[in-house]
Amino acid sequence: MTRQQILERILSEKLVAIIRLKRDTYVQEVVKNIINGGIPIVEITSNTPNFKEEISKARESFPEAVIGAGTIFTKQLAIDAIEAGAQYLVTPSVNTDIISIAHSNNIPVIMGCLTPTEIAVAVEHKADIIKLFPAGNFGIDYFKTVKAPFSDAKIFAVGGVSANNIGEWVKAGAAGFGLGGSIYPSSLDSIEECLSITKNAKNMVETLKDAFS
């Protein structure tokens, strides 16, 4: 897929499942259950052990999904992720070098921003999606305020989004969401805990559909 095709898929699905685990034991099981739950856009973070290998495995095992790399904040991490097969990059902060690296490899960037200045820099350098992070700590009113001057930007809310409040974020104008703790526990430590992920993912997908209907 081209950068534009990947971007369109992400914007269409509206949900990015963020996988950040302390051990790599259950990464592929989590990926499988998230996809089975109806979320085919998956981000494996660079601070998940062996994240490059896990991206490569996921690309091979789940060709119908779109597998990206998260917590990419240096040029080397961007290069490593792309070499592993990442189809998009997600940053926690603004680094315009990462935009250049991603675009030269024909993949999009979801760039982490918080302030209007950071959003302006990311937009000027053609970040494909803005990730307002940590959205939950600053709240929906803050989101509305910073979005107002950037009405054309596609802004995802990441951090603190759950099935209980996702409808309010949709009303505020969020184009999509990054999800982690709302679909699986960060302390995931058993196959049994993985089993609830499919149900939680399905619930988020259905809740989002209702919010946009």
Q: Which residues of 102-129 are buried (b: 16+ CB within 10 A; e: fewer)?
A: bbebebbbbbbbbeeebbebbeebebbb
- Looking at the chain, the number of H-run helices and the number of E-run strands are 9, 8
13 is catalytic: no
* H-helix or E-strand spanning residue 45: strand 41-45
Active site residue: 14, 32, 43, 54, which one? 43
Q: Which two tokens stand for residue 75?
A: 């040029």
Q: Which two tokens stand for residue 33?
A: 């259950």
Active site residue: 32, 52, 57, 131, which one? 131
- Alpha carbon distance 90, 78 (integer Å): 9
Question: How does DSSP assign 140-153, residue by residue?
Answer: HHHHHHHHGGGTTS
43 is catalytic: yes
CB-based contacts of 210: which residues, under 8 Å, 6+ apart?
167
- Alpha carbon distance 66, 138 (integer Å): 29
CB-based contacts of 27: which residues, under 8 Å, 6+ apart?
19, 21, 44, 48, 54, 57, 58
- Alpha carbon distance 202, 137 (integer Å): 25
Catalytic residue numbers?
43, 131
